[in-house]
Structure 1
Amino acid sequence: MTDEKRPWMQNRRFEFIEWKLFWEGALNRSDLEETFEISTPQTSLDLRRYRELAGDNIEYDATDKTFKPTKGMKPSFLKVSADRLLLQLRALLTGALPRKEIWFREMPPMDMAPDIVRNVDPECLRLVLEAIRLKRSVEVRYQSLTNSRVREIAPHALAFDGYRWHVRAWACDRDDFRDFVLTRIDEIKPGSLANYDPEDDVEWTTVVTLDLRPHPGLTEEQALAIQRDYSMSDGMRKIDVRLSMAYYFIMRMNLDLEDLPPARAQLSLHNISDIRKSISEAKSESKRRIIARQNED
């Protein structure tokens, strides 16, 4: 029976078996019974079936009365990812994920630096999502750094800059595409059908490659540490990003600050001038397309 034809919950339990073997190094029958609320006969059936499919991964330790991973274990149902596990642990610490979703029998000691949560109003998000789905505008009272005023915007996408959620939208009063921080919207109500084309948002539709490298002012030993930190290959790390998000990435990583000490900056954006040029060209192309479309109408 293939993975597609096998019941989803059984595949899930097989994934759990491998998770326990890989991350904790042991699996008890009670782990399956308690986590999935299944009977002892069903647990025995799952273990027998798993050993038929991936017997080279598991062995029974009669001394400890537990199942252990073999030295050559190669998970078949679990996609091993340290990044995923660490994201889950972070979500647990922030309260975004319940304890039962983390399969450790005993949680490892852990903590995180305080994270300033920006709470988005659920009704605001609901209306923004509705506007994206129906291609309608919304009328919002938006608090910028300079003033607070009512604006009509037509959202077409959501974007996270690493700290805040934005809505990418057609600004009906400015005839251009802009980012609006969701937490700065304090009033919102449905608007009318919006006359725009998301394809004209060239900054959003264009993907560029950022060429990240260790800061040139670092010592050779420091540069090697940075290469390891960022999983660089041949002294560089290429990252694809939408042009509209490149600005936030550059600011968040301090890649625009040339006067930072090398040890503080750590990274440099080797092609920053090209990225700035691409942003400028994209803005100009969007403006050209918008004017052309308006002339056609």
Structure 2
Amino acid sequence: MSIDEKRPWTQNRRFEFIEWKLFWEGVLNRSDLEDTFDISTPQASVDLRRYREFAGDSIEYDGTTRAFRPTANMKPSFLKVSADRLLIQLRALLTGALPRNEVWFRNLPPIDMAPDIVRHVDPNCLRRILDAIRTKRCVDVRYQSLTNSRTRQIAPHALAFDGYRWHVRAWACDRDDFRDFVLTRIDHIRPGAPADFDPADDIEWNTKIELDLRPHSGLTHEQSLAIQRDYSMTDGRRKIEVRLSMAYYFIMRMNLDLPDLPPARAQICLHNLGEVQRAIRDAKAEAKARVEQRSGGSERS
């Protein structure tokens, strides 16, 4: 049996589960398969037999504990091993976004997280936003900004998460430009007219740039080494590709625009901050020029 052999998706999923249990918990019982997938004892036995035929000496049976355990030769073929994925699942479990049965630990390790202020998006609002993106239509929204609340017409074309809040990226019909609108600040929404804009003109959204992150220059050598390890840096730097429209949020979230922060608090710096800021300004200017050209340079209200 080879990994390329066609088999039902459900069996591949159970094979993935077998490897998950062996890799992350170091033990697998037949009852784990039965309880998780609601299958019979004979079916679980068939799955284990077939998996052992495939995996060879990657798995062994411990007669003392009546459980299967991984050997030193274990090489997962159905499981994509990712610590990041597991930790994201645990976080989602803590926030209630993922049910307990989706996390395959028989006994969860003790876990907790610092309080997170959850911003709940109205499902009807999100549904209408998604429909507007799909059908390329405007929506009329009552939007609460930091200065006032008023009705606006926007033409959504994308969704974006800044690390804390979800935004809708949209053409602002009253301003003739592309902007981000925080979804939780929309308290009323209704369908509008067909949209008259081209998402290709949103240069900030469609352009990506590399952020050149480095340890803060004020850190000691030992501190710098710790930060390089924290951020998985190579040769003292970490490059991250990001949309120009999202770079602003990343810079603000990481305090990369505050040069007076103490080095131990700042930890990292954006080596090409000036380049990124110029790219954002240029993108805004290019988008404005393209919109004016498309509309024939008509007067803006």
Whether the TM-score (by the shorter chain) exceeds 0.5 is yes
Q: Deviations over 1:134-185 (max 9, x none)?
A: 0000001111111111100000000000000000000001110000000001
Counting matched residue pairs gives: 297
The one-letter code of the counterpart of 1:73 is: M
Partner of 1:169: 170
User: Retained in 2: the 8 A contact 1:121–1:183?
Assistant: yes
The one-letter code of the counterpart of 2:186 is: I
Partner of 1:42: 43
Partner of 1:123: 124
Q: Deviations over 1:52-85 (max 9, x none)?
A: 1112210111122110000121100000000000
- Determine helix, strand or coil for the equivalent of 2:88: helix
* Alpha-carbon separation, structure 2, partners of 1:126 and 1:56: 50
* Alpha-carbon separation, structure 1, partners of 2:6 and 2:292: 53
* Alpha-carbon separation, structure 2, partners of 1:100 and 1:3: 29
1:1-297 equivalences under 5 Å are 3=4, 5-295=6-296
**Normalising by structure 2, what TM-score?**
0.97
Alpha-carbon offset, residue 44 of structure 1 = 1.1
Q: What percent identity do the matched residue pairs reach?
A: 76
User: Retained in 2: the 8 A contact 1:137–1:155?
Assistant: yes
Over 3 Å counting, the alpha-carbon distance change for 1:32 and 1:284 in structure 2 is same
* Alpha-carbon separation, structure 2, partners of 1:36 and 1:16: 10
* Alpha-carbon separation, structure 1, partners of 2:4 and 2:242: 34
The one-letter code of the counterpart of 2:278 is: K
User: Retained in 2: the 8 A contact 1:14–1:50?
Assistant: yes
Alpha-carbon offset, residue 39 of structure 1 = 1.0
Over 3 Å counting, the alpha-carbon distance change for 1:165 and 1:72 in structure 2 is same
Alignment gaps of 5+ in structure 2: none
Alpha-carbon offset, residue 5 of structure 1 = 2.3
* Alpha-carbon separation, structure 2, partners of 1:196 and 1:139: 16
* Alpha-carbon separation, structure 1, partners of 2:169 and 2:69: 50
- Determine helix, strand or coil for the equivalent of 1:188: strand
* Alpha-carbon separation, structure 1, partners of 2:156 and 2:92: 28
User: Retained in 2: the 8 A contact 1:209–1:240?
Assistant: yes
User: Retained in 2: the 8 A contact 1:142–1:149?
Assistant: yes
Aligned-residue CA RMSD in angstroms? 1.1
- Determine helix, strand or coil for the equivalent of 1:295: coil
* Alpha-carbon separation, structure 1, partners of 2:217 and 2:244: 25
Alpha-carbon offset, residue 296 of structure 1 = 8.1
User: Retained in 2: the 8 A contact 1:3–1:11?
Assistant: no
Q: Deviations over 1:262-292 (max 9, x none)?
A: 0000010000000000000000100110000
Moved over 4 A (4+): 1-4
* Alpha-carbon separation, structure 2, partners of 1:146 and 1:295: 33
User: Retained in 2: the 8 A contact 1:200–1:289?
Assistant: yes
* Alpha-carbon separation, structure 2, partners of 1:174 and 1:259: 35
**Normalising by structure 1, what TM-score?**
0.98
* Alpha-carbon separation, structure 2, partners of 1:188 and 1:56: 59
- Determine helix, strand or coil for the equivalent of 2:106: coil
* Alpha-carbon separation, structure 2, partners of 1:56 and 1:87: 31
The one-letter code of the counterpart of 1:70 is: T
- Determine helix, strand or coil for the equivalent of 2:175: coil
* Alpha-carbon separation, structure 1, partners of 2:8 and 2:93: 28
Alignment gaps of 5+ in structure 1: none
Alpha-carbon offset, residue 195 of structure 1 = 0.5
* Alpha-carbon separation, structure 1, partners of 2:97 and 2:10: 23
* Alpha-carbon separation, structure 2, partners of 1:42 and 1:138: 52
- Determine helix, strand or coil for the equivalent of 2:295: helix
